[in-house]
């Protein structure tokens, strides 16, 4: 089952790697006001299980396999991004 963002004309969901001991990404909506800043490898702050955490954008997509309501990215770091080569590691 896919959750689709109605009317999405572009990349609106970030797949985020979080510093957790599991090998998976988590999907977060990108608020309209952050769409121009978001990019692969950017550090983003998200709320995950009631805790604010920093993660890294591993992919940008328009659909999510998560069946429930997605949380939104809270902020994007102004610091340097990770390169595609580093993310592939």
pLDDT digit string (tens) for 26-52? 999 999 999 999 999 999 999 999 999
Quote the pLDDT of residue 1.
39
CA 19/CA 59 separation, integer angstroms: 16
Quote the pLDDT of residue 5.
53
CA 56/CA 46 separation, integer angstroms: 10
CA 78/CA 67 separation, integer angstroms: 31
Spell out the domains of the chain, with CATH numbers in brackets.
3-79 (3.40.1440)
Quote the pLDDT of residue 79.
86
Mean pLDDT of the chain: 87
Quote the pLDDT of residue 66.
87
The structure's pTM equals 0.84
């Amino acid at each position: 089952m896919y959750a689709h963002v109605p009317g999405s004309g572009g990349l609106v969901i970030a797949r985020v790697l979080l510093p957790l001991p599991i090998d998976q990404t988590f999907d977060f909506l990108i608020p309209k006001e952050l769409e121009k800043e978001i990019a692969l490898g950017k550090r983003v702050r998200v709320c995950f299980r009631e805790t604010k955490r920093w993660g890294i954008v591993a992919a940008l997509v328009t659909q999510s396999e998560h069946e429930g309501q997605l949380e939104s990215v809270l902020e994007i770091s102004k610091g340097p991004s990770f390169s595609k080569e580093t993310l592939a590691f």
